[in-house]
Amino acid sequence: MKKIICVLIGLLVIALNKPLLAKTGLPGLVRSGQYSKGILHSIIQPDFIQQSLDSIYNVGPYPLYTPELTPGEGREIIQGYCDLCHSVTYITMQPPLPAATWEDEVYKMINTYGALIPEDEIKKVITYLQAHYTPETRNQ
């Protein structure tokens, strides 16, 4: 008797699941939960396109936009000293940095990369950066 009940339950489970196992209309999907092996292990590339020899290709201007540094005392000095190796975008693209980090940054440029900034100008450079590019002072 128990055996018959088990078989009946088994048949019931299969009957209830039939809609889930039915074939679907979606491409590549053979049955719910299974995917066709059709494109496994193969790379599909587009057809080769023959380009005409007299084609003219046009490329727009390369984006070299450098944002203006915030006006303020020391801006010209910064542009003179920092622009020697890289654009001042390196300053504007940083997130607002704490005052102490700007000081470290300037000394890193001097000690690690060899930036030539006279002793008496270093303070002005740091002061400018701290006055315009910290979380408290940055407004553009």
**Measured from the CB of residue 108, what is the shortest distance to ligand HEC in angstroms?**
6
d(CA 75, CA 16): 76
- Are the C-beta atoms of residues 106 and 112 closer than 8 Å to each other? no
Q: Which amino acid is present at 111?
A: N
d(CA 53, CA 57): 11
Of the two residues 91 and 130, which places its CB atom closer to ligand HEC in the complex?
91
Q: Which one-letter DSSP state was computed for residue 23?
A: B
How buried is 128 (Cβ within 10 angstroms: 0-12 exposed, 13-18 middle, 19+ buried)? buried
Of the two residues 30 and 84, which places its CB atom closer to ligand HEC in the complex?
84
**Measured from the CB of residue 53, what is the shortest distance to ligand HEC in angstroms?**
40
Of the two residues 82 and 132, which places its CB atom closer to ligand HEC in the complex?
82
SS3 content of the chain, % helix, strand, coil (to 5): 40, 5, 55
Of the two residues 70 and 94, which places its CB atom closer to ligand HEC in the complex?
94
* Residues in touch with ligand HEC (CB under 6 A): 78, 81-82, 84-86, 90-91, 94, 105-106, 108-109, 113-115, 125
d(CA 89, CA 64): 10
Q: Three-class SS of residue 36?
A: coil
**Measured from the CB of residue 60, what is the shortest distance to ligand HEC in angstroms?**
25
**Measured from the CB of residue 114, what is the shortest distance to ligand HEC in angstroms?**
5
Of the two residues 31 and 86, which places its CB atom closer to ligand HEC in the complex?
86
**Measured from the CB of residue 110, what is the shortest distance to ligand HEC in angstroms?**
8
